[in-house]
Structure 1
């Protein structure tokens, strides 16, 4: 179970800082069982990434400006294909935006199957809200057209701006999705039929997890599986399953088997947001932590100098700087014996450590060799 330490500055000045600790138990419990299909993939599954360039129309004045020449050229070319002659120099529209469309299909999907696509602005549009994508071919890396995409765009947000320049933005409005907006016109080359064996690829390679998967399959079906490496498990199909339907059922049943995965102890820190996420295997060796802070405050007060009455002098305003230093005493935490990260978080909370303090402490613990985990800084 993951222990998540979430911290975020509520204001730019950092007046409010909150640390939230999410956990079920202070001591890490045994990992939960998960289905094999949720932590691995059928290796023979072929997937193809698709991309295309198209136009979104119907925007409420939030499209590309007249300076975006490729949008104007794309629009006039489309109109010419429809039999309309348009002078590109006279086209001034704000309800059209050029976008790139991306999606992914697999060999399991047949012709006529719908799939989701993502659209992203490539011009200077301010929002894709309310727009509709015109029919666009989607190609693979080798230029083969596998699908087309079209439909209304969903962005999950809004962008409102008034004449005085003030605006309200909720979520990101230049990238959206079209649910079932893609349609396969040419299926991916059919996968070979299951014969004597297949391979499972782990999403997070780990020798312990791959060994547990092989062991679980062997307990259920006999000696039919072996862990090839940290990321691959080889499964032999019994000779008794001669029909393709029986082999497909066998693969399905294996995916439903449950195992307890094992993961590398790791702490992930995002210094931009003050977020800390740690796995349940993270431990810390005996250590004493002393952490203090120094705050330097510089204030400037105006000083007005008035000349004598009826003199030729001028009023002068100068600044009188004032420097203040607040050196807080170091707060000490003693951790005796190897402890889990949840215990460290609890101890640091008691002394009032801020999320930024905790991030600095974890980095120092890693340098001191006391943090028994990989430290990843985003």
Structure 2
């Protein structure tokens, strides 16, 4: 068995088995769903990184960096005469983004990512000056400041040659922002909690309702739709946390995944779910190879011919048709039989994509075919 066949067989079988596990073993609600409202919130800001080793913005091209620097110095009491634009290479304008985790309180710190928005070559060795981080509502939720940690490295020669390792124009500051404003309490005054499934499934919702009611009593949980379950909650915050701690550890058997074949057309990756079956069908598989080679012929006249040397191209085209392979699928063919049959004829991932598409068009593929 060739390496490509072995890789295809191993990938399809392992992924098929992975899809089969959720329907065969019990899982915790914590792993299947999340609590409504418990989520992170994106923060974004703008600031200046200073102290760079001549790798900052070329201010002749990044005028907003000069404007930002002048505004900052003006707020600190340093007035720059009108019309004077400092030509600095140790300052860079940056965008800052972070995620404010749920239940974060003022005084706690979060990690931030700093990215150059100008033409800075590298942010290595720089320090971010105090910058506010705002949420989608325009309110300031954190203040960022600190020394950058940059994993990339770059060097540039006088002749314009340049070498770069990773991305030196992006860095991180661990615990680089201090939370200044807490998010609204999503549990305040709520008499119901919503449990949202990661993957919508009516079977899983029904089983989750049954498992919760079996633990806490009938009427404790009700199905909202194919992806959510509502659970009655006490108004006391301590009792609510105790309820959630017990709720998220309840185990149940999730519904089996739908029959689906996912194809990545760019990489040739094919993922076949464990529920996929194929109806009765016969497939002929063949490969056509076309080879074109270009050669140059030199025609040179004799010593007294009076002509000139001429170079003429010559193309050789050969076409090779491999022997056709045919294999037959019986009704209800399973994943293991599909993989075994496709590997038996030596089909590459690209050929497998064409075979699956043809089976779907023929109505023999009992699955949804999704191309990403």
Q: Same fold (TM over 0.5)?
A: yes
Q: 1:111 to 1:167 in 2, by over 3 A?
A: same
CA contact (8 A) 2:66 2:86 kept: no
CA distance in 1, matches of 2:55, 2:286: 50
CA distance in 2, matches of 1:318, 1:59: 58
**Aligned match of 2:227:** 231
**Aligned match of 1:289:** 283
**Aligned match of 1:186:** 181
**Match among 35, 45, 49 for residue 52 of structure 1:** 45
Q: Which runs of 5+ in 1 are unaligned?
A: 1-6, 9-15
**Aligned match of 1:13:** none
Under a length normalisation based on structure 1, what TM-score does the superposition of the two structures give? Answer: 0.81
CA contact (8 A) 2:16 2:272 kept: no
Under a length normalisation based on structure 2, what TM-score does the superposition of the two structures give? Answer: 0.82
SS in 1 for 2:341: helix
Larger Rg: 2
CA distance in 2, matches of 1:17, 1:307: 57
Question: Structure 1 residue 216: deviation in Å?
Answer: 1.0
Question: Structure 1 residue 154: deviation in Å?
Answer: 5.0
**Match among 105, 112, 128 for residue 110 of structure 1:** 105
Decide which moves more: 21-30 or 307-316: 21-30
**Match among 330, 343, 352 for residue 337 of structure 2:** 343
CA distance in 2, matches of 1:160, 1:277: 42
Cα displacement string for residues 11-37 of structure 1 (whole angstroms, at most 9, x for unaligned residues): xxxxx9954624459774544332212
**Aligned match of 1:21:** 10
CA distance in 2, matches of 1:110, 1:43: 19
Alpha-carbon RMSD:
3.3
Q: Does 1:245 find its partner at 2:241?
A: no
**Match among 240, 259, 262 for residue 265 of structure 1:** 259
**Aligned match of 1:324:** 318
Question: Structure 1 residue 200: deviation in Å?
Answer: 0.9
Q: Which runs of 5+ in 2 are unaligned?
A: none
CA distance in 2, matches of 1:129, 1:332: 60
**Match among 361, 367, 370 for residue 373 of structure 1:** 367
* Alignment length (residue pairs): 360
SS in 2 for 1:41: strand
CA contact (8 A) 1:160 1:169 kept: no
**Aligned match of 1:148:** 143
**Aligned match of 1:78:** 72
Question: Structure 1 residue 158: deviation in Å?
Answer: 5.1
CA distance in 2, matches of 1:174, 1:332: 55
CA distance in 2, matches of 1:326, 1:71: 62
Question: Structure 1 residue 99: deviation in Å?
Answer: 3.0
